[in-house]
């Protein structure tokens, strides 16, 4: 009798582990799809605001799209985001994260999107494999999230790499020095 109970217990434990693994895999795929959808919506907004950006993105070696959230209270600020980097030549997708901290004068909350465009595959690979960090920012943006976003245009971040930034909604007034880091999301890149 004890052997039957023990075997039944082990069977239920194994079934529970299998079900958890399947649910976890489904949860990961849902997160990936959510990030892909965000990327598609962000690119559509960029193309509407700046039609020539479509050729830049489609004819590049690759691109990365991030959705970000930030807060700034007096002298301290922080932010985070998630995104996807896509190699246009191979179709390879890499899911990524962004973290930032800042010190400087400011006040506000903001949601914004970033689109990186890489002319050469080696620059995209460097961004994906080594991440990217930078400091310094000056922003003045105000939108209501309904009547369109502030469009800052494209900025060269290094030769052959460009950054477009779109403000989604929020109000921010800041001048700060901040550190920003982009890196692979190991939880979604299995």
- Report the pLDDT value the prediction gives residue 49, as an integer from 0 to 100: 86
Residue with the two structure tokens 């209270």: 73
Q: How many other CB atoms are there within 10 angstroms of residue 87's CB atom?
A: 18
pLDDT digits (tens, 9 = 90+) for 106-131: 777 778 888 999 999 999 999 998 87
- Alpha helical stretches, state H, 50-170: 53-58, 121-130
End-to-end CA distance of the chain: 42
Mean pLDDT on 50-78: 86
**Which helix or strand (DSSP H or E) is residue 44 part of?**
helix 2-49
User: Are 64 and 163 a contacting pair, CB within 8 Å?
Assistant: no
Look at the pTM and tell me if it is higher than 0.85.
Answer: no
- Report the pLDDT value the prediction gives residue 27, as an integer from 0 to 100: 87
Mean pLDDT on 21-49: 84
- Report the pLDDT value the prediction gives residue 150, as an integer from 0 to 100: 32
Mean pLDDT on 166-176: 56
pLDDT digits (tens, 9 = 90+) for 79-96: 889 999 999 999 999 999
- SS3 (DSSP) at 167: strand
d(CA 122, CA 59): 15
């Amino acid at each position: 009798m004890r052997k039957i109970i023990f075997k039944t217990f082990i069977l239920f434990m194994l079934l529970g582990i299998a079900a958890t693994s399947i649910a976890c895999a489904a949860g990961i795929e849902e997160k990936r799809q959510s990030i892909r959808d965000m990327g598609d919506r962000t690119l559509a907004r960029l193309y509407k605001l700046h039609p020539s950006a479509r050729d830049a993105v489609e004819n590049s070696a690759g691109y990365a799209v991030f959705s970000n959230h930030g807060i700034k209270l007096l002298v301290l600020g922080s932010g985070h985001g998630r995104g996807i980097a896509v190699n246009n030549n191979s179709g390879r997708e890499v899911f990524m994260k962004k973290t930032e901290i800042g010190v400087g004068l400011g006040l506000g909350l903001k949601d914004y999107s970033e689109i990186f465009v890489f002319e050469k595959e080696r620059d995209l690979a460097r961004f994906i494999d080594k991440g990217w960090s930078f400091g310094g920012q000056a922003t003045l943006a105000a939108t209501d999230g309904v009547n369109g976003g502030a469009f800052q245009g494209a900025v060269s971040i290094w030769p052959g790499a460009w950054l477009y930034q779109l403000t989604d909604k929020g109000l921010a007034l800041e001048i700060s020095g901040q550190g920003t880091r982009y890196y692979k999301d190991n939880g979604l890149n299995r």
